[in-house]
Structure 1
Amino acid sequence: MLKTRTNILKCISKQVNCGNPLIRLFSVFKWNQNCSCHNVEVPICPTRDVRIHQLRHHTKEIIGPCPKSCDTLQVEPCMTDPCVLDPCLPQPKVVIVGAGMAGLSAAHRLASCGLKNFEVLEATDRPGGRIHSCWLGNVVGELGAQWIAGGSEANPIFTLACIEGLLKEPLSRRKVSKEDIICLISDGRAIDTYSATVGINIFQNVRRQAFSLFSTDTQKGHGSLQKFLETRICEELKLVPEEKRVDVARAVSGMTNTLRTRWGTDLTNMSADAYGSFIEIPGQAVRVPLGFVGVLGPLLKAIPKQKINYCKEVEYIKWDTGSPRVLVRCCEGEPIPADFCIVTCSLGVLKERHDTMFQPPLPEEKVEAIKALGYGHLNKLIMEYSRPFWACGEGSLLLSWDTNELAERCCWSRGISVIEEAPGSANMLMTTVGGPEACAMEECSDEEVAVLLTQTLRTFTGDFSLPFPVNILRSKWSSDKNFRGANSYMGLHAKVSHQCELGRPLPGACNPGAPVLLFAGEATSPGHFSTVQGARMSGVREAERILKLVR
């Protein structure tokens, strides 16, 4: 059987100008157009003569006489997916809104089960959504998802990367230990090793306590994650020797700020009770050396390229109107009638457009879920230097802002917690800006970003001779109307039931007849929200829902 494999380097060919002539970046997209490989239809073992003609093209081994039901040839039996649809039955039309991981996973599942009557509408000019790999210099920079969180076979994204041959031994795992973290404070001094270690231990212990609330504490009502952490941290700091307490507190404050750059919001907006509902998959995080976008390869190769329509922004969706069951209207072109519509746009887009995007409006329960769940703001920032001013592999810099500095919020640099080496490069640093500061950074020019970042580094290291970067590459997820942020989180009043409600199809179970609107995306995936694997699982889930209805 012919097996195709995508060479990612061949696919990185289109140069993009980001407004700064110093930046060279190549966007990794349009796989089907740029790759030299072709789609290969893998035959499913036939039981009807209508499939025999397809099978002849792919199979050379012929055994035994023909069964009495056909006058052609019999082939060697093989395993089939029990979900495969009867090819003799009419197929419903499915429209999938969004070609991110959720949308592509849904399309891939439908195609692999024999449902070919679908169409994917993508508002941008590339697949992947919040997976966006670009070149900066000779290194792949990730503007979106960067690590396979939970690098093991328990993670469906890990298995996708393995299928595509993207992971080679030894795996590029993220190994961060307390000894590798250098805690810096804004007076240009590094916190001593003892105080830094004690502070990191306190933070990790208190974080574990917060994480366990969801599964062990039946007495809910702990309020915000910020309130819970502050209370427990104050108790722990009382046990620290007084002469070390100030520096230990700074180290704890710096580590607490890393949670803001993980979730993209102030911890006052997050629920302490629901914080532990997130499921951590076993295995250290793994990097895809040639770009995270490579995990899309197995999906895109199995989906006929004509099924994905780029630059197709959806204006509104009319649902529950009889015949046709759903009508999807793009900003350009004729309305598309369909039997099912899978909506995979981000929670940020739903928050902004749910009242105008759907006709009739979504029910009150769905709107309540959209409002209760939080959506964070995160942006990646990668800096290239002509010569590195750090020793390769010597750890990460933790900017230990104290609580007063964080409360001031005078500039977007307060949204930075850790600055580290960009994987695979000897002369690049990277960081993540989180919270409202991520939005503020998007409004700055590249030159302003480079200046403020350099000033921040000089202030914390005490070395005012540090150079400016020669190139920078950054994301702008919040100002992009197709995303409006980075990932979901459990809001102050959010519950797992809100995630379930967000993913519930419409009309609901009480309505006689099959649902019309289906919802997928990481925000609809309880336990796996804010992750790529959560997006993939949700897409497969909704595709399976349709397959069960039409099987």
Structure 2
Amino acid sequence: MFDCGPDLEDRGICGVEACNADKCYEEPRVVIVGAGMAGLSAAARLSQRGINNIVILEAYERPGGRILSCWLGDIVAELGASWTPKNVATHPIYSLSTFEDPPRPGVPGVEHPRGLFNNVVSGKMPFPSTISAYHKFRQIEEEAAQIYCLGGNKQQGSLINFMSLRIQQELHEYPEEQQHDAARIMFGLTHMLQARCGDDIGLLCADHSGCYMNMPGGDVRVPLGLVGILAPLLRQIPEGAIRYCKPVNCIYWGTCMKSGCRAYVYTTDGEEFQADYVILTPSIGVLCSNAVKLFCPSLPASKVDALKCLCLGACNKVYLEYFRPFWYWHKGDLNFKFEPCSIVDRCDWTRGIRSIEMVPSSKHVLSILVEGPEAAVMENLTDKDIAEGITEILRMYTGNQYIPYPATVLRSFWSSDPYFLGAYSTDCANTDGYAQRSLACPVPGPSEPIPPILLFAGEATVPGMNGTVAAARLSGIREAERIVKLTLQYKGPPLPYGWCTPCPPSEPKKAKMKT
């Protein structure tokens, strides 16, 4: 431990207790790959704890990662992670969004229709049957969750098969004249489950449907778009720490590196960054596709296996802006979800449309959510193709053949983006969270004699919360605290591999006297 004294200018930084001049250690060098929510949260926490020798390497010219807010007409369009209008102080993103300013009232949303569900052909459905069908579906969903909680060896098959069977059983309890509406509601709600995984729910196992956790505090709405929560983080990070347009080419760590440093990070333009710790926050799609060439030596087999158990679901958003909104003259509610039976006969990308909604507080914009393989196919089409496909759907479901084409099309391209390769992670191997926990383990691991060098953060490393902004933030804080703990343990940065602490000089041996 250093004796800091009154003048700390030449002693680096008080990396563990910034307010305590008696507990100062040499500052570790930290390189963070990615300036998304996980990377920014890690950097901000390290800075709060007094560690400012930080470099954040961001491949794009902007921060935020999969948080992408864009102005379109009179709204902020969320092309990536989004918010919903509930403000609860226990949620980590809410506390971040109110870091500097008190909560502001949200923009008023559209008037909620009277009744739970609407039939896009004949208007509102009968109220009693909709209530009953809704509660029946929630009971079935709870049964699927209970299967996970009870455990056991009985295999229940895919989630869609389990729920379809239970729905069919419940439909027999309805009068014949109510069965059609009840089936539309329950199968429609089943279809909406796909939005939670971004892929075919036929691939999900019913035995593991209850392993997803809801974050305490509910959903959070951030005024002026979710990108607004980045400002408090960016202000906590040392000036100049973020290096934009710096894709990483290779990371040398452990035994495969020059002497004198624990890790070297090279960007595609050839610049070198030395590090004691490297926090990796790229999406698992990027890690999987680049694992061989990105790390030298390669990642351990356990880490590669964990990556193979996870996959990135395809999900994209489309926003359509109209000069003259047609929905003011349209009878009935335009917001509707799609049931599998209603679009199963379509063979183009529109089969993946999950919802079409009027954007709250907007008078000119519609939002469309596209999930599954069709979301990836959509990225290869032109804006004209997208506008024509959605307009065809609108005309078919509203019966209005005079619905105009939109003036502007704004959409996301998460699956084809080389720095994301997907929207958000799913546990496609149904590992009960084991894959996420294994991915979150640092390399070298706790049982290794070498202190950790590679640390992993991101939404895919938090079991039960994958696919959420809150998971990304918590994972970044987790890895920052890991570095703080290691700094305490080693009283500064660990020595590079192969180095050892010099032994104290031994006392000279006394010469034996001749007798």
TM-score, shorter chain, exceeding 0.5: yes
Offset at 1:148? Answer: 5.8
> Which residue of structure 2 lines up, in the alignment, with residue 179 of structure 1?
115
1:382 aligns with 2:315: no
SS in 2 for 1:305: coil
Cα 1:409–1:485 shift into 2, 3 Å: farther
Unpaired runs of 5+ residues, structure 2, are 10-14, 489-515
Contact 2:211 2:432 in 1 (8 A): no
1:494 aligns with 2:431: yes
1:306 aligns with 2:243: no
Letter in 1 for 2:188: G
- TM-score, normalization by structure 2: 0.85
> Which residue of structure 2 lines up, in the alignment, with residue 290 of structure 1?
224
Unpaired runs of 5+ residues, structure 1, are 1-46, 53-79
1:224 aligns with 2:158: yes
> Which residue of structure 2 lines up, in the alignment, with residue 22 of structure 1?
none
Show the 5 A alignment for 1:397-416: 397-403=335-341, 405-406=343-344, 408=345, 410-416=347-353
**Matches of 2:164 and 2:300 in 1, distance apart?**
38
**Matches of 2:171 and 2:315 in 1, distance apart?**
30
**Matches of 1:191 and 1:415 in 2, distance apart?**
24
**Matches of 1:209 and 1:396 in 2, distance apart?**
32
Question: Of residues 328, 332, 342 in structure 1, which corresponds to 2:265?
Answer: 328
Deviations 1:316-346 (A, max 9, x none): 2122126321121111122322111000001
Cα 1:386–1:541 shift into 2, 3 Å: same
- TM-score, normalization by structure 1: 0.80
> Which residue of structure 1 lines up, in the alignment, with residue 6 of structure 2?
49
Cα 1:298–1:402 shift into 2, 3 Å: closer
**Matches of 2:34 and 2:28 in 1, distance apart?**
19
Show the 5 A alignment for 1:53-202: 82=17, 88-147=24-83, 151-165=87-101, 167-169=103-105, 179-184=115-120, 188-190=121-123, 192-194=125-127, 196-202=130-136
Contact 1:254 1:402 in 2 (8 A): yes
**Matches of 1:125 and 1:170 in 2, distance apart?**
30
1:452 aligns with 2:385: no
Question: Of residues 143, 149, 164 in structure 2, which corresponds to 1:209?
Answer: 143
1:473 aligns with 2:424: no
1:268 aligns with 2:197: no
**Matches of 1:450 and 1:462 in 2, distance apart?**
18
> Which residue of structure 2 lines up, in the alignment, with residue 420 of structure 1?
357
Deviations 1:117-168 (A, max 9, x none): 1100001110000101101013211111111697422211110111132731
**Aligned positions, number:** 475
Contact 1:183 1:400 in 2 (8 A): no
1:246 aligns with 2:180: yes
> Which residue of structure 2 lines up, in the alignment, with residue 76 of structure 1?
none
Deviations 1:390-433 (A, max 9, x none): 35998663244344843x56111121122112122122111210
Which range is displaced more, 285-294 or 512-521? Answer: 285-294
Contact 1:318 1:358 in 2 (8 A): yes
Cα 1:506–1:177 shift into 2, 3 Å: farther
Offset at 1:469? Answer: 1.4
Contact 1:164 1:295 in 2 (8 A): no
**Matches of 2:248 and 2:123 in 1, distance apart?**
51
> Which residue of structure 1 lines up, in the alignment, with residue 211 of structure 2?
277
Deviations 1:466-492 (A, max 9, x none): 222111211111110101111112224
SS in 2 for 1:49: coil
**Matches of 2:85 and 2:276 in 1, distance apart?**
36
> Which residue of structure 2 lines up, in the alignment, with residue 527 of structure 1?
464
Letter in 2 for 1:378: C
Deviations 1:92-122 (A, max 9, x none): 1111000000000000011111111110000
**Matches of 2:219 and 2:147 in 1, distance apart?**
24
Aligned-pair RMSD on alpha carbons?
A: 2.8
> Which residue of structure 2 lines up, in the alignment, with residue 548 of structure 1?
485
**Matches of 1:128 and 1:104 in 2, distance apart?**
8
Letter in 2 for 1:122: E
Contact 1:275 1:490 in 2 (8 A): no
Cα 1:143–1:489 shift into 2, 3 Å: same
Contact 2:117 2:124 in 1 (8 A): no
Cα 1:549–1:286 shift into 2, 3 Å: closer
Deviations 1:342-382 (A, max 9, x none): 00001121222222222222112111111112321111111
SS in 1 for 2:193: helix
Cα 1:517–1:451 shift into 2, 3 Å: same
Cα 1:402–1:534 shift into 2, 3 Å: closer
SS in 1 for 2:264: strand
Cα 1:175–1:536 shift into 2, 3 Å: farther
**Matches of 2:109 and 2:94 in 1, distance apart?**
12
**Matches of 1:51 and 1:175 in 2, distance apart?**
60
Offset at 1:201? Answer: 3.4
SS in 2 for 1:163: coil
**Matches of 1:262 and 1:175 in 2, distance apart?**
25
Which range is displaced more, 416-425 or 211-220? Answer: 211-220
Offset at 1:81? Answer: 8.5
**Matches of 2:466 and 2:112 in 1, distance apart?**
23
**Matches of 1:495 and 1:474 in 2, distance apart?**
33
Letter in 2 for 1:547: V
**Matches of 2:103 and 2:225 in 1, distance apart?**
11
Q: Which structure: larger Rg?
A: 2
Cα 1:339–1:468 shift into 2, 3 Å: same
**Matches of 1:261 and 1:471 in 2, distance apart?**
25
Offset at 1:176? Answer: 7.1
Letter in 1 for 2:138: Q
Percent identity, please.
41
Letter in 1 for 2:193: L
SS in 2 for 1:527: coil
SS in 1 for 2:177: helix
